[in-house]
Amino acid sequence: MTASTLKTIVGRRLWITGLVLAIAAALVSALWLTASSQPASATIAQTASTLDTELSQDPATSDAKADAKADRTAFHAAMKAARMLKGQERVDALKKVAADAKAGKYGDRIEKRADRRADRRAAVFALLPDELQADLTKLRAMQPGDERKAYRNEIRQKALDDGYGDKVKEAAEKLKGHWRD
């Protein structure tokens, strides 16, 4: 490639870039002009009235934001307090916070989040094999203690032994190092 050819390629690219920018500027200005079909004085008056409306509604909006922030703060404080407990007290406290969240005690946004989480868990549970669903349901209904731990270990071993299918076996092998007793 020679120097004169390079100048021509660069020149063409600059010309095309300039043309594209000019077309874009023309489109933006055309859209802007068609959007403001009223005279400038009306636009200024509308802007002033819109500003007044926004300023008058701002405290209500800030109150809603403050309420939502207070709800989140209360939810996080309750979760933190529940997580500091040990054993069955912790389980019961976490269940209570979750139930309160679903009931709307911590506001609409946290209630919706709790509902979405429950829906996701139900969808994932529905994907499990029927036999595993039955065993997990039975495990959840059992009282905490040695019997429940033994049944949980039976489920884990059955999963590792391909009792629930290949996919469950693969998942069990991947999770094996993360299981707590």
Convert the pLDDT of each residue in 8-61 to its tens digit: 777 777 767 776 777 777 666 666 666 555 555 555 555 556 656 655 555 556
Mean pLDDT, the chain, whole residue set: 80
For residues 67-75, give the mean pLDDT.
88
Instruction: Check if the beta carbon of residue 109 is closer than 8 Å to that of residue 71.
Output: yes
Residue 93: strand, helix, or coil = helix
pLDDT at residue number 20: 74
pLDDT above 90: residue 96: yes
The answer to whether the pTM exceeds 0.75 is: no
The candidate with the shortest Cα–Cα distance to 112, out of 66, 65, 68, is: 68
pLDDT at residue number 99: 93
Q: Is the dihedral of CA 108, 140, 152, 143 positive or negative?
A: positive
Q: Is the dihedral of CA 32, 35, 38, 40 positive or negative?
A: negative
Q: How many CB atoms lie within 10 A of CB 102?
A: 17
The candidate with the shortest Cα–Cα distance to 149, out of 180, 175, 105, is: 180
Q: Is the dihedral of CA 45, 51, 52, 53 positive or negative?
A: positive
pLDDT band at residue 91 under the 50/70/90 scheme:
confident
Give the separation between CA 60 and CA 67, rounded to whole angstroms. 10
| Residue 131, Ramachandran bin (φ over 0: left; ψ between -120 and 50: alpha; else beta) | alpha
Of 122 and 9, the structure prediction assigns the larger pLDDT to: 122
Give the separation between CA 124 and CA 128, rounded to whole angstroms. 7
pLDDT above 80: residue 180: no
